[in-house]
C-alpha cells in the first residue's frame, strides 16, 4: 500500500471525484478550484484530466493555490487522474 506525505494511505477512496475529460483550459482548473472551495481542509479530490495542456497545467495550478498534489496516475484509457488534498 502506498503512503501519502502525511503518512496516511493514498489507496483509500477520495472524498470527491470530478471528471473533466473534454474540458478545455482554463475551465478545467476553474471547475477544480470551485469544487475544492466546497470541500473541507484535508479532504481529497480526484480529478480526471485529458493529456496535454490539462495534465500539464491543472496540477501546477492547484499547487500554486496551496493545495497538495498527492498523486498523478496515467489511466489505461489515455486520460490522467490526479489526487489533490485541500489546504
Catalytic residues: 25
Where do we find the cell 503512503?
3
Helices (H), ranges, 1-87: 27-37, 53-64
**What is the separation, in whole angstroms, between the first and last Cα of the chain?**
24
Amino acid at each position: 500500500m502506498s503512503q501519502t506525505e502525511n503518512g496516511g494511505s493514498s489507496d483509500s477512496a477520495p472524498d470527491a471525484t470530478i471528471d473533466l475529460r473534454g474540458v478545455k483550459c482554463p475551465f478545467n482548473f476553474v471547475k477544480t478550484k470551485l469544487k475544492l472551495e466546497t470541500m473541507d481542509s484535508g479532504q481529497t479530490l480526484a480529478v480526471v484530466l485529458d493529456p496535454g495542456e490539462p495534465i500539464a497545467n491543472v496540477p501546477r495550478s492547484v499547487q500554486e493555490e496551496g493545495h497538495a498534489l498527492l498523486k498523478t496516475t496515467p489511466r489505461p484509457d489515455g486520460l490522467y487522474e490526479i489526487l489533490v488534498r485541500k489546504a
